[in-house]
Amino acid sequence: MVGMRRPTMADVAREVGVTAKTVSRVLNDDGPVAADTRERVLAAVRRLGYQPNLMARNMRVGARDAAIGLVIPEMGNPFFGTVAGAVESAVRARGLTLIVGSSSETADLEQSLIATFLARRVSALMVVPSATGDHRHLRAERAAGLPVVFLDRPAVGMAADQVVSGNRDGARDGVAHLLAGGHRRIGFVGDLPATLYTRRERFQGYRDALEAAGVPFDRMLVESGHDQEAACAAVLRLLALPDPPTALFAANNFASMGAVVALARTGRRDVALVGFDDLTLAEVLDPPLTVVAQDPAAIGAAAAELVLSRLDGHRSKAARRLVIPTRLIPRGSGEIPPPS
Amino acid sequence: MVGMRRPTMADVAREVGVTAKTVSRVLNDDGPVAADTRERVLAAVRRLGYQPNLMARNMRVGARDAAIGLVIPEMGNPFFGTVAGAVESAVRARGLTLIVGSSSETADLEQSLIATFLARRVSALMVVPSATGDHRHLRAERAAGLPVVFLDRPAVGMAADQVVSGNRDGARDGVAHLLAGGHRRIGFVGDLPATLYTRRERFQGYRDALEAAGVPFDRMLVESGHDQEAACAAVLRLLALPDPPTALFAANNFASMGAVVALARTGRRDVALVGFDDLTLAEVLDPPLTVVAQDPAAIGAAAAELVLSRLDGHRSKAARRLVIPTRLIPRGSGEIPPPS
DNA sequence: GAACACAATGTCATCGTTGACATATGTCAT
DNA sequence: ATGACATATGTCAACGATGACATTGTGTTC
C-alpha cells in the first residue's frame, strides 16, 4: 500500500485501449477526439483516480515551472503576508502557483532562496530585497527574459520593474497634517540603519513638509531605534530636550509602538503623534492612532500585474516603476493641538 | 537575448569533453571522478553559469517534487503567517521548498489548492482545514504513503497526524485566572458559527473552569459575533444585562478587539478582560490586555517535524496528535477585581 | 472516381537528469 | 602472466508528458 505507484497517462490509455497521446488530447482539449473515446477516457481517469503530473508537463511544455517565486523578509509580518496573499490570488487566477520563501532580511538566505527558485525554473521572480543584498547576479536572468520584479524597496545594483509605497509623499502628508494642526516642533523617529531605503524616503518626506511650511529643520529632533524598545527610548530622549517637540512623526510600525509606549509611560497626552503604516489596534488605542496607511494588497497586486504583463509578452527593456499611494487616516492622536 | 536557452548538463559536458553523466557525478558527489576532471567540470559550470534543473531532477529521482504544500486560510493573518514561516524554515533545513496557498476559508479554494499540490507531486501536504471542507478524498493519498498533516484544527472525515493549540486548557486557564481574581459572573464572547472547532473547544474550557470553581453556568452570559463590530455589539448586550458580568473572556482575536472597543466606548474600566490569542499592541492598551497566548511558531515547527519524520520513514498507520500548550500572559486587564 | 479535406488516432522523439549496467585502464596479489 | 578488483568514464533507457509528423478512414467536391 505504502508508496503505491500513481497511475500515469499510459495506465489510463491501456485501460481504455488507446495511446497516451489520445488521453493527453482529451485532458488538454487539444486536437479532435471522438465523443465516445472522450467519455471512456474520462471514465477511466475517474476510475483510476488519475491526476496529471504537472512536473512532467511543465518540463516538457515550457521548460519553465508554472510557478513564480516570491521572497519576502518575514511571513509573520502582516504587511508582507498581505503582499504575498495578494500576489498569490493574482497569479493563481492565471494558473500559476506561488512559491514563497522568507529571507529574515539576510542577504545569504535571500541569495539561497533565489538560487533555489532559479533551479526550479520558476516563470518569474518577485523579491522584497533585503537591505544588505546585491542583486547584480539577477541581471543575466532578466536579460534572458525572466520577469523580475522588486517589491517595497528598489534593488541594489540593477534596474528592474518595481513597486513601492509612496513613502516620501506619505511621510510628507503625515507631517503636513501635524503642521496644519499648528505644530512647529515635530520630532522624527526612524529606524536604523538610516541608509535603509524606506527610512531615507520617509525622512525626505518629513523635510519636504517642513520646507513647504517654512519651518526650519532641527537635527536635534531626529532620533532612531531599531526596535520598539529603542524607539521608546528615542522618544523619551526627544521629550527630555530643553526645547522638546510638541508632535511626533513615527516613520514605521515599531517606532509608532515605541512612541505610544513612551507617551503612555510618561502620561503625556498633550503630544500629537502620526505613525507611518497602519496597526490593527490603532483605533482602539487611547487616543486612537492617526496613521499614514500603506496598501500592501495593492502593492502585491500591482507587482503581480507587472509580472503577468511580462509573461504575456511585454518586452520593453526599460524598468517600470509603480508607486502605490498611501492614505492618511486621522483618528485622534494626530489632531492634538500644540500647547498655546 | 530574450528566451535564451539555459545551459544543460550536456552543454557543460560538451564544453569539458565528457558526457553528461560525468558532470552529474561531479555535481552530486556520486561515484568516482578524477580530480582533474572534477576541476574542469566545475570550471565549465561556473563559466557557463550552469544551474541544475530541479524539475528534471525531481522527476527522475523520486517522481516526487522536493516541495511540500501548505494550505492556510489567510496569509495576511499573522497567526498563520507565523505558522507558515516556521514550517518553511524547518523544511528548508532539509532541502525542501514550501509552496503555499490560501483558501480564504472556503472549501472550494482549499480543494483546488490541494489538487494543484497533488498534481505537482509534492512530497507532503499540510493543511489548515477550512471549517466547511471535507477531507475524505485525502484518505487515499495518505494510504498511498503521502504524509498528510492538519494544523490548528482537525480534519473532517479522516484521521491524520495533526497539531493543534491547547484550546480547551488555554481557555480554562484564562477563565480560571478571572475566577481566581474573585469574579463569579464571567461573560463568554465567541465566534460564529458556534460549531467551529476552536470555538467549541474554548467554550468547553470556559465551562471546565466554571465547574472546577463551583460557579454555575449561565447561558445568558454567552454571546457571539463573527467580526469585531459584532463582538463589540455582543459585549454591549452583555453589559446591559440586569445582572451583568464583571469580567469577560474573549475567545479569539477579534472578539478581544471588539471587547476592548466596547469597554472603551462605554468608559467601563471596572470590567476585567482576558483574551484568547495575543495581539501585537496588547501591552500598549489601557489597561494592557491580559491574554492566553498561542504559539504559532511552535505549531508550525511541530507540524513540520511530523511531516519530516514521515518522510524519514515513520510508517505507523496511526494518526499522531500534538497539542501545543498556550501561555497565560497577565498584563493588567485580567487583574481588575470585581466590584465588592 | 480521382483528388482532397478533415477527423481520429498512432508513432516517435524529446524535455534534463540520473539509475543500471557496460567498458576501458591500471594495480596488485598470486 | 592471470585473474581479481578498483577507478574512471561511457551508454542507454527511463521518469511522464507533449510536439511534430505520419497514418488511417470517411465524407465531399468537381
Residue B98 lies in a domain: yes
**DSSP result, B1-24:** -TTPPPP-HHHHHHHHTS-HHHHH
In this structure, the answer to whether residues A283 and A182 fall within a common structural domain is yes
Q: What is the structure's pLDDT at A2?
A: 45
Which residue is closest to C13 in terms of CA–C1' distance? A60
Query: Within 7 Å: CB of B331 and strand C?
Result: no
Within a domain: A58: no
| Residues B304, B159 share a domain | yes
Contacts of B115 in chain A (CB under 8 A): 51
Predicted confidence at residue A4, as pLDDT, reads 63
Please determine, for residue A30, whether its predicted confidence score (pLDDT) is greater than 90.
no
The string of pLDDT tens digits covering residues A260-300 is 999 988 999 999 999 999 998 888 888 999 999 999 999 99
- Are B191 and B252 in contact by the 8 Å Cβ rule? The answer is yes
Residue-range definition of the domain harbouring residue B123? 64-165+296-324
Please tell me the predicted confidence (pLDDT) of residue B171: 98
Within this chain, do residues B175 and B161 fall inside the same structural domain, yes or no? no
C-alpha angle A245-A207-A135 in degrees, rounded to nearest 5 = 120
Q: Which of A32-36, A93-97, B297-301 reaches the highest mean pLDDT? A: B297-301
Task: Give the pLDDT of residue B4.
Answer: 63
Both B76 and B160 in one domain: the answer is yes
User: Are residues A258 and A176 both part of a single domain?
Assistant: yes
**CATH number of the domain within which B33 lies:** 1.10.260.40
Residues from chain B that touch A280, judged by Cβ atoms under 8 A, are 257, 279-281
Separation between Cα atoms, residue B51 and residue B6, nearest integer Å? 8
Closest residue (CA to C1') to nucleotide C8 in the complex: A33
Residue with the larger pLDDT of the pair A63 and A299:
A299
Would you say residue B320 lies in a domain? yes
The span from the CA of B254 to the CA of B74, in Å, is: 15
Q: Is A3 exposed, middle or buried (0-12, 13-18, 19+ CB in 10 A)?
A: exposed
| One domain, residues B151 and B258 | no
Q: Tell me which chain A residues have a C-beta less than 8 angstroms from the C-beta of B67.
A: 99
Distance of alpha carbon B11 from alpha carbon B45, whole angstroms: 9
The reported pLDDT for the residue numbered A280 is 83
pLDDT of residue B335: 97
CATH of the domain at A116: 3.40.50.2300
Q: Of chain B residues 286-305, which have a CB less than 8 A from chain A? A: 286, 296-297
Q: Binning pLDDT at 50, 70 and 90, where does residue B2 land?
A: very low
CB contact residues (below 8 A), chain A span 214-233, against chain B:
none
Nearest CB to A58 within list B52, B55, B116: B55
Record: contact A55-B101, CB cut-off 8 A: no
C-alpha cell recorded at residue B315: 510508517
Whether B190 and B202 have beta carbons less than 8 Å apart is answered as: yes
Q: Is residue A340 part of a domain?
A: no
Q: Which residue of A56, A63, A284 is in closest CB contact with B261?
A: A284
Q: Is A2 inside a domain boundary?
A: no
**Sheet with strand A272-276: strands edge to edge:** A222-224, A186-190, A247-250, A272-276, A290-293, A327-329
The answer on A254 and A303 residing in a single domain is no
Q: Do B78 and A82 touch (CB under 8 A)?
A: no
Measured on CA atoms in the order B224, B226, B232, B233, is the torsion positive or negative?
A: negative
**Percent above pLDDT 90 for chain A:** 72
| B175/B280 same-domain check | yes
Instruction: Give the per-residue pLDDT at A156.
Output: 84
The reply to whether B338 falls in a domain is: no
Q: Are A186 and A221 in contact (CB under 8 A)?
A: yes
- pLDDT tens for residues A75-92? 999 999 999 999 999 999
Quick: pLDDT tens for B262-299: 998 899 999 999 999 999 888 888 899 999 999 999 99
**Mean pLDDT, rounded, of chain B:** 92
Q: Is residue B1 part of a domain?
A: no
Count of structural domains within chain B: 3
Residues A174 and A161 in one domain: no
Q: What residues 62-101 of chain A have any CB closer than 8 A to a CB of chain B?
A: 63, 65, 67, 74-78, 80-82, 84-85, 88-89, 92, 97-101
Are A185 and A285 members of one domain?
A: yes
| Contact between B78 and A78 using a beta-carbon 8 Å cutoff | yes
Q: Residue A95: how many CB atoms within 10 A of its CB?
A: 8
Q: Which of A3, A98, A140 sits opposite B49 (nearest CB)?
A: A140
Q: Tell me which residues of chain A, numbers 156 to 195, contact chain B at a CB-CB cutoff of 8 Å.
A: none
- Is the per-residue pLDDT at B3 higher than 70? no
Same domain, A148 and A224: no
Q: What integer is the mean pLDDT of B166-185?
A: 98
Q: Is A85 a member of any domain?
A: yes
Higher pLDDT among residues B286 and B235, named by residue:
B235
- The length of chain B is 340
**Beta strands B247-250; B222-224: pairing state:** unpaired
Is pLDDT above 60 for A19? Answer: yes
Q: Are B215 and B182 a contacting pair, CB within 8 Å?
A: no
Could you tell me if A89 and A41 lie in one domain? no
